Amino acid sequence: MGWFSKKGKEPEFNIPSNMSPIEAVTHLCASIHLADGQADYEERESWVNAISELFPEFSEERADRFLNEAYQVLGQTADNEKMNYISSVLNRIKILLSAEQIQVLGPKITDLIETDGIVMTAEMEIAKLVETQLGISISVNEDL
């Protein structure tokens, strides 16, 4: 009877090198959501706006699944490994997104960081990594 049971199995998630474009962008956004220790409604709305513009034909159900998976993966990742994980996600984004999509992503990351009215050091570290790896500018008002 236990042959078909999933009991005791860890959930399986795509590693960054196997992610779809929307999945990779969602994992990046989730890392910013969780940088301050919580994800709020405004941050989620900012993520929805970003993926709506980047991927107009996206499936809301699929996107929500990717967001929940990203929260789980990031929650299970040791703090000292999170920046390496985000770096891997950014490498995937660089491969999958067009130059135009990457340029659109910059302002969306800015909006995501500023949306809750508090700019955290961890969010700025992620922004710097995004700028370095994707070659885009992210202008955040650090006085929020």
User: In angstroms, rounded to a whole number, what is the distance separating the alpha carbons of residues 140 and 132?
Assistant: 15
- Residue 120 in any domain: the answer is yes
Burial class (CB in 10 A: 0-12, 13-18, 19+), 48: middle
- Residue 3 in any domain: the answer is no
Burial class (CB in 10 A: 0-12, 13-18, 19+), 44: middle
- Residue 117 in any domain: the answer is yes
CA dihedral 86, 38, 68, 12 (to 10 degrees): 60
Q: For residue 34, what are its two tokens?
A: 């969780």
Q: For residue 143, what are its two tokens?
A: 């006085």
22-60: per-residue pLDDT in tens?
Answer: 999 999 999 999 998 888 899 999 999 999 999 999 999
CATH number at residue 112: 1.10.3680
In this predicted structure, what is the pLDDT of residue 38? 80
Give the mean pLDDT of the chain: 90
In the chain, how many domains are there? 1
C-alpha distances (whole Å) from 79 to each of 9, 31, 107, 136, 144 are 23, 11, 26, 25, 25
Q: Above 60 in pLDDT, residue 1?
A: no
- Residue 58 in any domain: the answer is yes
Which range marks the domain in which residue 72 is found? 20-134
- Residue 13 in any domain: the answer is no
- Residue 10 in any domain: the answer is no
Residue at token pair 């969780």: 34
Q: Which residues contact 22 (CB under 8 A, 6 or more apart)?
A: 51, 54, 55, 58, 62, 63, 66
110-119: per-residue pLDDT in tens?
Answer: 999 999 888 8
In this predicted structure, what is the pLDDT of residue 13? 85
The neighbour count for residue 45, using CB atoms within 10 Å, is 13
- Residue 140 in any domain: the answer is no
62-105: per-residue pLDDT in tens?
Answer: 999 999 999 999 999 998 999 999 999 999 999 999 999 999 99
In this predicted structure, what is the pLDDT of residue 40? 87
User: For a pLDDT cut of 90, what percent of the chain falls above it?
Assistant: 78
- Residue 12 in any domain: the answer is no
